[in-house]
Every structure is written in structure tokens, then in C-alpha cells.
Amino acid sequence: MSVNKYVFCFLFFIGFFSYGGEVIQGPYKISHDTDVIRVEKSSNEDCPIELIISGAKASYSMDKLCVNGDIPNIRSVFFVRLRDVNHIGTIVSWYNKHQAEDIDQTDYQVTIYKKNKKGVYVIDKEKNNDALFYGTEDGTGDGSYKFNNSSALKKYLMGKYN
């Protein structure tokens, strides 16, 4: 093997691993699907977390989670089948403390994604218009936001959309 081939292999190896994001969670096999989802750290400071879908056909970024006063925290990634369509749900929280305004709370956001006819997961606009998918708990994490776990959320989705 010539020196040029060694250099090419070395640069390819370094490039491959330096551009891949650090996996924070997953990969998780998506129920009723062959694809997997993983949560990766992104190099983008404004949107430091990315949700990546990988499958036999393609790999793509499903969504980016951005800073909202604090760095987003993935509380849960879950799967639910509604009306014979695969859905992925995420529960994300941001800690929010402002002493001057006497704010000490955790803000929550639930996002639901559905698999479209092209086989790509996209934000399900109908379900994400639900005001219940946005909430707050006090700084002690008192559990007052009822969708802070996937069990409660799945039960709600199955009752409302199936």
C-alpha cells in the first residue's frame, strides 16, 4: 500500500469519527418499525441536541432541541401506535431559575412525531397543537405537570386519538 493510501485511510478514519455526534441516549429500536432513534449531542451551541433516525434506507435528523433558558433535558423517548400509524414521542424539560423574578421551575414540552407516507418521521402538527403538551412544575420537581412521564402521556394519546 502506498503512502497516499495510508494517508487517505487515516484522514477518512479521523473524519468519520470527528463528525459523528456523541450519543446521549439510545439507540432505541422503534416499535413496529425497523428504524432506530438516538439522541446525539450537536456541535450547535444554540440547539445542542439532535434526534437522529437511522434505518436500512436512510439516516436523517428528525429534530433539533434548542436552548430555552437552559440546555434541554430529554426526559423520555417513547413509541405509540395511533390509528395504525407509528408515532415517536419526546418529553423535554428545561430548568428555569430567575431569582430577581422569583422563578424557580422546570418547563416541559411534549412533541409527537408521526411516520408519513414517504417513511420519514415528521412533527405531527395536529397532536402538537394540544395545550396540555406544555407545562410547568415548581423548582422542587413536585410532579404537578401530569405529562412528565411516558405512561401518563401514552394513556392520554391512546384515549384521545385511537
User: Does residue 41 carry a pLDDT above 50?
Assistant: yes
- Asked if residue 12 belongs to a domain, the reply is no
Report d(CA 8, CA 2) in Å as an integer: 10
Report d(CA 144, CA 105) in Å as an integer: 11
The per-residue pLDDT for range 54-87, each reduced to its tens digit, is: 988 789 999 999 998 889 999 999 999 999 999 9
- Asked if residue 8 belongs to a domain, the reply is no
Domain count, the chain: 1
- Asked if residue 93 belongs to a domain, the reply is yes
Place of cell 428545561: 94
The per-residue pLDDT for range 144-155, each reduced to its tens digit, is: 888 888 999 999
Where do the H-state alpha helices sit in 76-148?
A: 125-128
Report d(CA 27, CA 104) in Å as an integer: 33
Q: Half-sphere exposure of residue 23, counting CA atoms within 13 Å on the CB side?
A: 10
- Asked if residue 79 belongs to a domain, the reply is yes
The per-residue pLDDT for range 93-108, each reduced to its tens digit, is: 998 887 787 778 888 9
User: Does residue 7 carry a pLDDT above 70?
Assistant: no
Domain limits at 58? Answer: 23-161
Q: pTM for the complete prediction?
A: 0.81
- Asked if residue 1 belongs to a domain, the reply is no
**pLDDT for res 13:** 38
- Asked if residue 142 belongs to a domain, the reply is yes
- Asked if residue 67 belongs to a domain, the reply is yes
AA identity, residue 81 = R
Q: At a CB cut-off of 8 Å and minimum separation 6, what does 2 contact?
A: none
Judge contact between 19 and 12, C-beta under 8 A.
no
CB atoms closer than 10 angstroms to residue 151? 10
Report d(CA 105, CA 17) in Å as an integer: 38
Least-confidence region, from 20-34, 45-59, 79-93: 20-34
